[in-house]
Amino acid sequence: MSISHFIKDIGRGKQGARALDRAQAADLFGQVLDDTVTDLEIGAFCLAMRIKGETPEEMAGFLDATHQRLQRVPAGAQPLVVLPSYNGARRLPLLTPLLALLCARRGLPVLIHGASTESTRVFVADVLRALDIAPMQTVVSVADGAVAYAPTELLCAGLKRLLDVRRVVGVRNSAHSVVKLMNPGAGKAVIVGSYTHPEYAVSMADTFCLMGATAMLLRGTEGEPVADARRMPRMEGFVAGQRLPLEEGRPGTVTDMPDLPREIDAATAAGYIRDVLQGRKPVPDAIGAQVEHILRLAAA
């Protein structure tokens, strides 16, 4: 098979490119995930979409194709909290595991999925390893009150291959957006999506609506799905695709700054997380508020 006819439409530059409909986008992305096209076509697809940008309809199609190929985590009694972790830490400690463990402490099953997409950051697998949380070896259900970590390649090998294209071409591609929006669970889930630039907030929100997702969307810490402990970000919720305001957010930094570690290595981040969980340090207000909103969405 070939995706050259799709590339003709999407590869004409930001002004001349034509958007695909949802079914076309699913066909295109499915072929890419199945590795039935050439490396040249994959590179052309990645760069064309990077220049054009995905529409919500296209992203919904990409997600349709992804969901058809995922090894889904079996449903449990409670909605699964899904934390995509792909950006890692560059300047601040990686606290996505803290968010996961705080949600689990309130009785929810939590799945972190992720992959290291470059070599200059600290990624979630490193911090989880320091917390004695090993990656899944097979896809199994997540118990209530537990945290599990699924490497992307366990959920969908084709998706991991596409993420790895970044190491060759040097820029992100559509897979980096798909992983922040997808639901790896077979049942009800609360997906915690994050963005780094305001324009992505609009497209990601529209995609959650199209997918009928129950989700949270916020500007996370360096692109991670955990609220920045130094400020109170705006948080928007979705219940079956319907918008639900959660947190208006506050401008500027918080007055009572948390005592965050200066180093970002995995051992230091894990030590800080243990201190918070054991009460030696307070839960940062923004992360505490995020946990409460996740619980609200899970109950809805």
Residue 13: what pLDDT?
A: 75
The CATH 1.20.970.10 portion of the chain extends over 4-69
Residues 6+ apart with CB under 8 A from 151: 113, 114, 115, 125, 135, 136, 160
Q: How confident is the model at residue 144 (pLDDT cuts 50, 70, 90)?
A: very high
256 pLDDT exceeds 70?
A: no
Query: For the segment 220-255, what is each residue's pLDDT rounded down to a tens digit?
Result: 999 999 999 998 999 999 999 999 999 988 776 655
pLDDT at residue 258 is higher than 80:
no
Q: What is the mean pLDDT of residues 174-189?
A: 96
Domain ranges in the chain with CATH number 3.40.1030.10: 80-299
Average pLDDT across the chain, whole number: 93
For residue 197, name the pLDDT band (cuts at 50, 70, 90): confident
pLDDT value for 196: 87
| CATH superfamily assigned to domain 4-69 | Transferase, Pyrimidine Nucleoside Phosphorylase; Chain C (1.20.970.10)
Task: Write the pLDDT tens digit of every residue in 90-133.
Answer: 999 999 999 999 999 999 999 999 998 777 889 999 999 999 99
Q: How confident is the model at residue 15 (pLDDT cuts 50, 70, 90)?
A: confident
Q: Express as a percent the part of the chain with pLDDT over 70.
A: 98
The whole-number average pLDDT for the span 22-40 is: 95
Q: What is the CB-side half-sphere exposure of residue 127 using CA atoms within 13 A?
A: 32
Compute the average pLDDT of residues 273-284.
96
On whether the CB atoms of residues 41 and 82 are closer than 8 A, the answer is no
- pLDDT score at 281: 95
Q: Which CATH number fits domain 80-299: 3.40.50.300, 3.90.1580.10, 3.40.1170.20, 3.40.1030.10?
A: 3.40.1030.10
Q: What would the pLDDT profile of 38-87 be if each residue is shown by its tens digit?
A: 999 999 999 999 999 999 999 999 999 999 999 999 999 999 999 999 99
- Between 83 and 169, the higher pLDDT residue: 83
pTM of the model: 0.94
